[in-house]
Structure 1
C-alpha cells in the first residue's frame, strides 16, 4: 500500500530510517516542489536507500515515532487499524503472529516460510516468535507485494521493516510513565549518550509493562486465573562508532521477555455427529457442563466472552534476543555495507486449546531457535548519477538450540487416549545473490531492473510418540536430537505401568530454488504527480511436515515452493488547492500464486487410513500445495489539511482472493472440514475483502498552557474467516468497526513535560481476533476475542 495513514501526523515532521547511504540525499531535489506545496515527506528505505515516500515506485505505508505515539500504538498488531491492507491474525496464540498482506498468511502449525517477513534493523526475524514491541522507534515501514529482489529472505506478499532510534551526538532522552484500567502500569524511557564527539555514541532504551488480564478463567479446583494479562520486559542498547569520516558501524542489541499467563480461549460451538464428531462417553455424560461438551457450550453462552473455564493453569514464557551489526563504508560514489544478525527465540507455552475443564485438547510447546544471517551490499551512483546500482549476497542459517518438543492431546482421559509428543529438529539454510539497477532515462523517466537467485534447504528429523502427561513431560520423555536419528529409549508411565519403548525418528528434507525479478518504470508527470508500474516474481521456499506421516498422507511429508507473478500500477499526487495542501495515493494490483502453500486444518483422526495415531499430522494440520490462487485489488488513501493544525485522512483497501483451480482434488484432504471441493468456496483466512479507515487530528496552541492535540481514528473491516471454508460463518468474524482517541497536552506551561490521555475501542466493540481450535472434525471450536475498552493516562518528560 502507499503512504496510507502514515502522513497523519507528518505535516510537521520528517522521519529518517536508520539505513541507506546518509551522504546520498536522493530525495532532496525531488522534494523541493513538495515543500513549496507546504507538504513534507517521510523518508523510507523500501529500496535499500533513503528516498522520499512520494517518489518510491512501490506500495508502502510508513509511520514515524510521532505518528505511533499519537495513535497510542504499543504493539505491532495495532497497526492493523492504521494501515490499508495489513492484518495481524491470531491463530493458536500471541506468540505465533500471522501477518497478512494481499490475502496471504502463514499456517498456524509448522515452520512454513512467512509470506510477509518482519525485519528489525535490516535483519529478518525467525518465523516463530517474531515479536517486536513498539517503543523508541525511528520508523515502521510496511511494503506491499512480493519482495523478490532486494530483501534477504524472500516473501511473496510483503515485508514489515522496523528501525530503532539510532544514537546521536546530542545528549538527551525521555522518561514516560502511565497508568490505565485493568491496573495497567507502564514505564518507558531512552537515554542518548554522546561518548566521544563525532566518533562514539550510545543509546539505551527500555520498557516495562504489567497489566491484569481481561479474561477470567475458573479452574477445576475453583481457582481463577487471569488470562490475556501482560508481564513484559523490553530493553535495547545501540552503539554508534565512526572511527573516521566515511566509516560507520551501528550495533543494536535487543531483548523481549514475556512472563504471561497466556491467551484467554473462549469455548465456542459444538458440531453434530454428521461432521465426524464422535465423542467418548467421558465427554458426553449428559449430566454436567464439566463432563458434557454440549452443556459446556450452553453454559459459555451465559458467561459471555470475558469469563470461561479451563483445565489447568497455562503460561507463555518467551525470551527473544537479537544482535545486529551494520557497517557502512562510504567510498565516494560507491558504498559498501555489511549487515550481520543473530536472533535467538526461546519460548515455552502451555495452551488450553478448548476453553473447558474437560481436557478436550491442549498443546505444550518448547522451542529454542538460533538464527544467523549475513548480508553484504555494494551500492553506487554512476554516469553523473544517472545510474544507481546495488548488488549483494545473503546467507541465513537456522538450527535448534536445545531439545525441542510439542505435546498435544485430544480427549485426554485415562482409558480414552494418551497425549502425543512430537520432537522435531529442523535445520535450514537460505542463500541468495541479488542485484538491481535504476536507470534515469530522462530527468522524469526512470526504469528499475532487478534479479535475485534463491536457494533454500530444510532438513528435519522428527518422531511422534505417546507419553503420559499432556504437559510438563519428564526429561526421560523428551526425544533428543541424537536419539531422533539413532533410536532412543523413552521411559513412560501409562496408567500406572512403567514401560520403555524404542523411538527412532524419520529424516525428511526439502530443497528449493528460484530466480525472482522485478521490472518497473516510473514517471514524474509534474512536480506534484508521480506514477509507476511494476511487474515482479516472488518466491516462498518449500518445507517439511512433521512428524513422520503414514498411509494416504505419506506423499505429503514435504511440500514444494510457492511462486507469484505480481503486477502493480499506482499514482501519488501532492496538491495545494486554494492554500489547502494534501496528497492522494492509489495503487491497483493483481497476483497469481502457483503451488499456493496452505495450512489444511481439521483432518480427522486416522484420516490417513493406517490406523496408527503416531503418524497423524501434528494438531491435525498439514501444509500442502493447494493449487493456483489469484488476488486482485486496490488501495486508496488521502490526506488533507483544511486549516492549520487540522489534518484529515482516510483509506480504503479492497482484496478479492480466489482459487482458480483446486490442487487437492482427488486427495484425502477434500472434505467440508478440511478444504472445500469447490475452489470458489475456499476462504482466505484472516483476509477481509474490504477495510476502511479514517482519522482526524487537531492541534492548537493555548497560551500559558501548551499545545493541545486531539486525535480520533476509526477502522472498519468486512467479514474475516478463520477457516478455509467460506460457508462456515460460525468460525468467522462478521463486519465490525472500532474507534480510538487520544488527547495530549504538550510542553505544559513551557516545560518539557507532556501529558496524554488515550482510549482504545471507545465503544467497547466485542469482536473475535482468531480461532484457538478451528478443526470442525474435533466436534467443537474455540476462539479469541479482542481487547475490551482500554484507557489510561501517560506523562512524559523530555530532556
Structure 2
C-alpha cells in the first residue's frame, strides 16, 4: 500500500484551487462521484491538505502525481508506525509486491509476478534494490534494514532507462535522510515476545556552518520461533548489528558533497524450511512434523556481512544545469549451511561461502526545471567480482525409514561428495537519457533510452567424481559472454485538469544472460549451462489525482508486459525421485493486471488508506518446462497471487492536558492463493496415499496494530504494537529440495511488544 502518513501537526487548511474551465470542473466532479466515497460526504467534512509527496524516480525531484510510472511510496513515519524493520516486511504494504520470508541467502523479490533469487553467482535478480542511487547487489544484499530512511519508492515495471541493471520487473529505491543543520538525535528501545530486543540511536552533528554529520546505529536480537527438537536450538532468529555514517558538506555555494558509509553484520541460526516429508519425499517425516518444529542433527548457521561507501557530488551551474557524480563501493559476504537430508542422520551437509565486491561510477547532467524540455543525460560503469566456494560432505548416518547410507549410492563418506570453486567477473558500461517535453500546457511527451554492454567472464569448476548415483558433473568452465542492449521508453502525460493526470507509457528492459553455476549433473553439462538474455516490452496506462478538497489522493494503473526468453531458475523433477537445478529460457511470459492505491484524510486526525493489486501472470509458451519435460505453456508463474490488497486506518486523539496525542493505528493485508511451482501442482502425494501441502499456497490475511502516546512537541513517544494479531499460521513458502524433500515455512506467529523513543 502506498502509505503516505502525516501527523495532525502537518495538516494545513485547504488551499484555494482555480479551475481552468467549467468543463474541467464537471469532469472532475463526475470522476469523484464514481471513484470515491460520497462527494457530498467529503465536502461536508472539514477539508485538509495532504502533505505533497515528492519522488526522485526520474533522477530529479518531482511530484508523485506528475510522474508517469506506477510508484508506491512509504514515508519514514509510515515505516515507524507500521513497525517494519527489514525490507522483507514491505511486501504487505505494496500491491503486486512479494518478498520471500526464508533465508537471506536466496532472497527473492517479485513485482507483478516477475522476480528471481540469485543464489547462483552466474544468475542475476530481476528487481534492483538501490540506496541513494547505488545498486546494492545480489540476493544476499537485498534484505536491508529500514533505518535512518527518509522514504522508500517502489517502481513497478521495467526501469531499464532510469536504473538499468537488473530492473526488468521493477526497482526499490531507498532514500536516506541527509544530515541537517541542527544538533539533534534520538534514542529508541523496542522489547517484545520471543525475547525481542532492539536498541537504536542516531545523532546529527553540525560540524561547521557548511558541514554536518549524521551517525546512526542499531542492534536487534530475537529468539527463533522454530524449535529443533534434536538439540533444543531455536532457529530463524535475528541477531543484527548495523551502522551508518553520513557527512554532508557545502564545499562552495554551488557544490554539495555527501559521503556515506554503512555496515551490517548478521550472525544467526537460519532456516530453509521444515520437512513436510521424509528425505526422499516418500513418507511423512519421523518426527518434527508439527508446525514450528524440525528434527535435524545440525542447526544451520547464516552469517552475513554487508558494507559499502559512496561519495556524491552535486554541482549547480550558473545556467541552471546541474552535474552529479556518484562513486560507490559495495561488499557482500555470506556463509551459509544447508542440511539437504533434513533429518537426524548425519547423511549430507553443504557449506556455502559466496562473496560479491562491486564498484560503480555514475555521472549525470540534469537540465533546469524551468524549461519546457527537461532531461537527464548520464553514463554508468559497473564492475563486480563474484566468488563462490561450496562443498557437500557426506556422513555415515542412515536416513530414517529406508536405512540408506552414502555407501548405498556409491559415495565414499570420507571424502567430499562435491566440491565447487569459481568466480564470475562482470563489467558493464551504459549511456542513458531520460527527458520530457511540454507539447502543450497539458500534454507532456517523455522519451528515454539506455544503451548498455555487459561482459561476464567465468572461471568455475565442479568436482562430482565422488557423487556416485547422483551423477553430479565434473567439469571446468572458462568462458566469457557479452550482451548488448538498447532499451527505449516512451510516455505521454496529459493533465485532465489541475492536479489530475492520465498517462500512457511503453518501456523496455533487459536482463543479461549467464551461466548455471550450481550443483549441476552430467547431462546438464552436455546440454550446455549457458543461457540467453531476456527482454521485456511493457505497456501501462494510469491515472493519478489529488481532488479539489486536497484531502484525497488516488493512483491507478493498468499494465501488460511480454517477456521473451524469460530465464527460469528451478528445481526440475526428473522423475524417479531425481531433481536437477536448472536454468532455462522460457519462450514467452505475459503478465497483466491492475494497481490502485488511495489515501483519504477526512479530518485533521484521521487518515485512511487502501491498496489493491490484480494480476494475471502466465507462461504463454514454455514447451518442455514442466515436470519430466511436460508442456508448461498456459501455467501460472510461481509467486504470482491474483489478488493482493491492504487497508489501514490511523487516528490521533488529542490529549491537551498531557500535551500529547493518542495514536490508534490498524493495518490489514490480504494475499490470494498462488502456485510456487512451474508445474502448478496443488499438493504432493506420498506412498501411503496421503498428501502434504505443496505447490499451491493458500490465501491469507494478517492484522497489525499500534496504540501509542506521542508528545505534541515531538520529544518522546511510547507505544504498544502487535503484528499478525490473529496468529495466522499460513504457509509463507514451500519448495522441493535436492533429494525430493518437500519443505514448508509457516508465517511468524503473533508478535507484540513495547517501543519507546526519545528525541533530543
For Structure 1 versus Structure 2, the TM-score category normalised by the shorter chain is: 0.7 to 0.9
Q: CA deviation at 1:691?
A: 0.5
Select which of 270, 287, 296 maps to 2:285: 296
Corresponding residue pairs, total: 699
Q: CA deviation at 1:670?
A: 4.6
Q: Does 2:248 match 1:236?
A: no
Q: Does 2:293 match 1:307?
A: yes
The answer for the alignment partner of 1:610 in structure 2 is none
Does 251-260 or 696-705 show the bigger shift?
696-705
Q: C-alpha separation between the residues in 1 aligned to 2:303 and 2:739?
A: 28
SS of 1:100's equivalent? strand
Q: CA deviation at 1:270?
A: 5.6
Q: Does 2:406 match 1:394?
A: no
Select which of 541, 545, 556 maps to 1:569: 541
| 8 A Cα contact 2:118 2:139, kept in partner | no
| 8 A Cα contact 2:104 2:139, kept in partner | no
SS of 1:66's equivalent? helix
The answer for the alignment partner of 2:80 in structure 1 is 69
409 and 659 in structure 1: CA distance in 2 versus 1, 3 angstrom threshold: farther
Q: C-alpha separation between the residues in 2 aligned to 1:375 and 1:601?
A: 37
**Following superposition, which runs of at least 4 residues in structure 1 exceed 6 angstroms of deviation?**
33-37, 408-412
605 and 506 in structure 1: CA distance in 2 versus 1, 3 angstrom threshold: farther
The answer for the alignment partner of 1:262 in structure 2 is 270
Q: Does 2:422 match 1:424?
A: yes
Q: C-alpha separation between the residues in 2 aligned to 1:794 and 1:670?
A: 48
Q: CA deviation at 1:203?
A: 0.3
Root-mean-square deviation over aligned CA pairs:
2.9
Q: CA deviation at 1:630?
A: 0.5
| 8 A Cα contact 2:348 2:392, kept in partner | no
The answer for the alignment partner of 2:4 in structure 1 is 7
The answer for the alignment partner of 1:582 in structure 2 is 552
Q: C-alpha separation between the residues in 1 aligned to 2:595 and 2:393?
A: 41
| 8 A Cα contact 1:353 1:782, kept in partner | no
Q: CA deviation at 1:508?
A: 3.1
Q: CA deviation at 1:751?
A: 7.3
Question: In the TM superposition, what are the counterparts of 1:33-182 in structure 2 within 5 Å?
Answer: 38-90=49-101, 93-107=103-117, 109-111=119-121, 112-130=123-141, 131-182=143-194
29 and 428 in structure 1: CA distance in 2 versus 1, 3 angstrom threshold: farther
Q: C-alpha separation between the residues in 2 aligned to 1:719 and 1:259?
A: 33
What TM-score do you get using the length of structure 1 for normalisation?
A: 0.82
Q: C-alpha separation between the residues in 2 aligned to 1:10 and 1:409?
A: 59
Q: CA deviation at 1:780?
A: 2.5
Task: Map Cα deviations across residues 509-561 of structure 1 (whole Å, 9 max, x no partner).
Answer: 33211100110010111113111110011111111112576436533311111
Task: Map Cα deviations across residues 690-737 of structure 1 (whole Å, 9 max, x no partner).
Answer: 111101111111122211111101011111322212133432310011
Q: C-alpha separation between the residues in 1 aligned to 2:670 and 2:714?
A: 38
Task: Map Cα deviations across residues 253-275 of structure 1 (whole Å, 9 max, x no partner).
Answer: 0111001011163111369xxxx
Q: CA deviation at 1:107?
A: 4.3
Q: C-alpha separation between the residues in 2 aligned to 1:756 and 1:514?
A: 51
The answer for the alignment partner of 1:671 in structure 2 is 627
SS of 1:321's equivalent? strand
128 and 109 in structure 1: CA distance in 2 versus 1, 3 angstrom threshold: closer
Does 521-530 or 592-601 show the bigger shift?
521-530
Q: Does 2:745 match 1:774?
A: no
Select which of 714, 730, 742 maps to 2:668: 714
The answer for the alignment partner of 1:612 in structure 2 is none
| 8 A Cα contact 1:140 1:163, kept in partner | yes
Q: Does 2:512 match 1:541?
A: yes
| 8 A Cα contact 1:108 1:599, kept in partner | no
| 8 A Cα contact 1:248 1:327, kept in partner | yes
The answer for the alignment partner of 2:727 in structure 1 is 764
Q: C-alpha separation between the residues in 2 aligned to 1:63 and 1:182?
A: 27
The answer for the alignment partner of 2:526 in structure 1 is 554
Question: In the TM superposition, what are the counterparts of 1:434-583 in structure 2 within 5 Å?
Answer: 434-466=432-464, 505-546=476-517, 550-551=522-523, 553-576=525-548, 581-583=551-553
Task: Map Cα deviations across residues 64-91 of structure 1 (whole Å, 9 max, x no partner).
Answer: 1111101111111111111111110246
| 8 A Cα contact 1:651 1:693, kept in partner | yes
- Structure 1 unaligned spans of 5+: 15-27, 272-276, 280-292, 471-493, 495-501, 608-615
The answer for the alignment partner of 2:656 in structure 1 is 703
The answer for the alignment partner of 2:698 in structure 1 is 734
Q: C-alpha separation between the residues in 2 aligned to 1:393 and 1:458?
A: 20
The answer for the alignment partner of 1:290 in structure 2 is none
Q: C-alpha separation between the residues in 1 aligned to 2:174 and 2:51?
A: 21
Q: C-alpha separation between the residues in 1 aligned to 2:347 and 2:70?
A: 45
